[in-house]
Structure 1
Amino acid sequence: MVNKTEKIRRRYNRISLLYDVLERPMERMSTSWRCDIMTEVFGNVLEVGVGTGKNIPYYPEKVEVVAIDFSPKMLNRARSRYGKIYRNVTFLEMDAQKLQFPDNTFDSVLTTCVFCSVPIPVQGMKEIRRVCKPGGRIVMLEHVRSEKKLLGPLMNLLNPIPLYLYGAN
């Protein structure tokens, strides 16, 4: 039987070529968010769930980035798109729930819309805390259900679509 992590990984591998097209409506709103969150990262940065690499052009020049994703096909899209242009970024295949770094490795850890796809989110959060240095910064931009009267129920109604496509709530 396939575990939940593997099931989600397979879904992301399957949609890797269409992912940016599917995300385009959301992406129009997120450019300013990406600029804002990049003012919060510094030093040696771990990006958890790099996906197709949408954050990479927004990183400050003076940071070193280790960009991880558990989907090899998503990671390959990011690497082929940005690997030669941004030499300060290293791409690694890795699961957020089992980070293969020593404790206190990174000055900053960044996640953007990742934890909706992590099967055991608390485990992933424990891992990013473990690898972030004392005094370091964990920056998370995550989407949650809206509390607005119309938008919240609409999100509930539409949630099965991304859940089916790639395992994200």
Structure 2
Amino acid sequence: MKANSETIKKRYDRIAPYFEVFEAIVEGLFFKKWRKKLWERVEGYHILEVGVGTGKNFAYYPGYARITAIDFSPGMLQQAAIQKERKKVVVDLELMDVQSLYFADNSFDTVIATFVFCSVPMPLKGLKELHRVCKPGGQVLLLEHVLSSKPPIAWLMKRLNPLVLRLFGANIDRNTVKNVKACPFVSVRVDEESGDMLKLIEARKW
């Protein structure tokens, strides 16, 4: 089953008020430390965060940077706006789809996304947009859950994917590393400490 942007957007709008609760356990046990590690690699002044969601990365924003954060779900963006005011975060929030960014070519020093490309209907198109808006010499940093390389687990993930997609709007069978390597980046590196189903990806543009 494939879902288009509008269908997935509605699913995220529906779960937005409860999203923090849904992911609280896995966030505390696994994702939090990897978010911190990812944001420690940010370079430059002008940063774009794609898929800001409810603002889970706000705590890791570097104080020196100018940050623009986007999401295609009005419901998620509303939650991010609430967190922005509550935590006094300096960020420009924009409603936008990663598959069709409004920004000019070569706009950002670092483009960053965490657990986003599981939900993008056309991930390769979205990744090419990240490459386009990234400045020459800049970087794209991704933290993504991906399809396991272990055949039995991969088989199960593929079987469960239609249900997960229907309920939450996310795919659990994506090969995001392969998709990033299919884009015109000069180099793509995966953190060696990344696990089988969690990947920290660093892509460079010349």
Same-fold call, TM cutoff 0.5: yes
SS of 2:48 mapped into structure 1: strand
Match of residue 140 from structure 2: 138
Name the SS of the counterpart of 1:117 in structure 2.
coil
**How many Å separate the matches in 2 of 1:88 and 1:154?**
42
Do structure 1's residue 27 and structure 2's residue 27 form an aligned pair?
A: yes
Q: Is contact 2:84-2:90 (8 Å) kept?
A: no
Determine the C-alpha separation between the residues in 1 that align with 2:81 and 2:126. Answer: 23
Unmatched tracts of structure 1, length 5 or more: none
Determine if the alignment matches structure 1 residue 65 to structure 2 residue 81: no
Q: Secondary structure at the match of 2:23?
A: helix
Equivalences for residues 85-96 of structure 1 within 5 A: 85-96=87-98
Distance 1:32 1:138 in 2: 19
Q: State the distance in 1 between where 2:94 and 2:128 align.
A: 19
Q: How many residues align?
A: 167
| 1:111/1:141 contact within 8 Å kept | yes
Aligned letter for 2:128? K
Contact 2:58 2:89 in 1 (8 A): no
The share of aligned pairs that are identical, in percent, is: 47
> Whole-Å Cα distance in 1 between the matches of residues 109 and 32 of structure 2?
24
TM-score, with length taken from structure 1: 0.91
Can you list the C-alpha shifts for 1:89-125, whole angstroms capped at 9, x where unaligned?
A: 1110000001001111111000111011111111101
State the alpha-carbon separation in 2 of the partners of residues 102 and 34 from structure 1.
27
SS of the residue aligned with 1:111? strand
For the aligned residue pairs, the C-alpha RMSD in angstroms reads: 1.7
Structure 2 partner of 1:108: 110
Contact map agreement 2:53 2:71 (CA 8 A) in 1: yes
Structure 2 contact 48–108 (Cα < 8 Å) conserved: yes
Secondary structure of the residue aligned to 1:52 is coil
Which runs of 5 or more structure 2 residues have no equivalent in the other structure?
172-206
Asked if structure 2 preserves the Cα contact closer than 8 Å seen for 1:63 and 1:88, the reply is: no
